[in-house]
Structure 1
Amino acid sequence: GDSALTAPVGEISEPLRKLLRVTEESLGLAIEKVKLKHHLGDVSATVQQYVEKNGFNVVREFVGHGIGRELHEEPQVPNYGRAGHGPVLKEGMVLAIEPMVTSGSNELRVLGDNWTAVTLDGGYSAHFEHMVAVTRNGPDVLTRLEG
């Protein structure tokens, strides 16, 4: 599976708690849009609108993705977009929806390890991700931990 979360270490400020809360809530709202005949843009726009309404920015350089025989497949699942646009969701599709949200600039650079990404302005970021299957009964979150 493919999933991610951002966990605070020690005491964090209220603005940082809000960043984590808004990022995770945007994922939940996006998951609610994973329904037959909805467009991928409905999922993406939901993340962007909620994040920006709360004063944060979405990362545009990295996106979620489809999952099938390979971990990273089409379609790309950006954290921004226009409702009613993009591929129509079909039963059996599996999407990795992964809001990546910043407290300031959404411009990034990747460090020398070719993995770690940091914001250009040194601002904070958060990332949450779930794998979600499109079913006739609505979204099925495949990576949700029970208990």
Structure 2
Amino acid sequence: MVEIKTPDQIAKMRAAGLVVAAIHQACRDAAVPGATTKDLDEVAAKVISDHGAKPNFLGYGGFPGNICTSVNDVVVHGIPDRETVLRSGDIISVDAGAIVDGWHADAAITVFVGEGHAPEVHELSRVTEESMWAGIAAFRNGDRLVDISRAIETYIRRQPRPATGKYGIVEEYGGHGIGTQMHMDPHLLNYVSRKRGRGPKLVPGMCLAIEPMVTLGTPHTHVLEDDWTVKTDDGSWACHWEHSVALTEEGPLVLTAVDGGKAKLAALGVTAAPDPLG
């Protein structure tokens, strides 16, 4: 069952999305050489508390952090700790969520720590982020879920190949529905699978977390003994970008973007829906 939201419910999700955007800004500022991933987790906890929201990651399936902090070859679900110290040249995915009045929002950014990043790492982040926006632009009334998957995969496959040979699109993890829970139907692949068919029709009131995960090598991953941390099998670096998006009668609204997605979508020829919070 796909949960369909009313405009008032989408407004509450927008409020949660703005909290997530504030978490990301604070963590981006805090992700400096010498900081630990636990430092970032504490920054996120304060932002959530200051906004009167609740964390949706903390305690989820036993997860011990307010955010996921995934460094370099960690794809997703990295656990914040005191031992992981950020160094200049690292990249870190900060996956964050918040709950406002029972409604969820979830998004991820990739942050460059300090300086000295190889050109292919910058390009990896650009390709991953832009593929996410291609997927968001394909979130259109009357289309099908697979159209979003196709837009993400097509964008990635059309980019110049990195020095490592090709980009790996992680298959084991993908996007998802979001609303009264953080993870809901439907599951959203970042590639087209004939086995999954076309998926449900996209209609106003649907909300999705659109989140490509791309590597500089293999698409294959494994989970560490902590039962959370997901790493690439070949040690290649990975990138993760995500936004929660609501589909309205007037188009997509990017719940976790400060401007609702207006600027990025306009560049793709798509008009973002009006912000219900003004």
Q: Distance in 1 between matches of 2:137 and 2:193?
A: 16
What is the root-mean-square deviation in Å for CA atoms of aligned residues? 1.6
**TM-score between both structures, scaled by the size of structure 1:** 0.94
Which is helix-richer, 1 or 2? 2
1:70 aligns with 181
Q: Distance in 2 between matches of 1:82 and 1:139?
A: 24
Q: Distance in 2 between matches of 1:115 and 1:6?
A: 19
Paired residues for 1:97-136 under 5 Å: 97-136=210-249
- 1:62 alignment partner AA: Y
What is the CA distance between 1:58 and its match in structure 2?
A: 1.0
Q: Which has the larger radius of gyration?
A: 2
- 2:131 alignment partner AA: S
1:48 aligns with 153
- 1:96 alignment partner AA: A
2:114 aligns with 10
2:142 aligns with 37
Q: Percent identity over the alignment?
A: 43
Q: Distance in 1 between matches of 2:175 and 2:244?
A: 10
Q: Is it true that 1:138 corresponds to 2:251 in the alignment?
A: yes
1:86 aligns with 199
Conserved? CA contact 1:133–1:142, under 8 Å: yes
Q: Distance in 2 between matches of 1:31 and 1:92?
A: 15
Conserved? CA contact 1:42–1:82, under 8 Å: no
Q: Distance in 2 between matches of 1:144 and 1:68?
A: 17
Q: Distance in 2 between matches of 1:85 and 1:50?
A: 19
Q: Secondary structure at the match of 2:253?
A: strand
Q: Secondary structure at the match of 2:179?
A: coil
Conserved? CA contact 1:110–1:116, under 8 Å: yes
What is the CA distance between 1:82 and its match in structure 2?
A: 6.0
1:59 aligns with 170
How many residue pairs match? The answer is 146
Q: Distance in 2 between matches of 1:99 and 1:80?
A: 9
- Which consecutive residues of structure 1, in runs of 5 or more, have no partner in the other structure? none
Q: Distance in 1 between matches of 2:114 and 2:230?
A: 22
- 2:126 alignment partner AA: R
Q: Secondary structure at the match of 2:247?
A: strand
Q: Distance in 2 between matches of 1:76 and 1:132?
A: 14
What is the CA distance between 1:21 and its match in structure 2?
A: 0.3
Spell out, residue by residue over 1:25-66, the C-alpha distance to the aligned partner (whole angstroms, 9 max, x if none). Answer: 001111101110011101011111111222312110001100
- 1:61 alignment partner AA: E
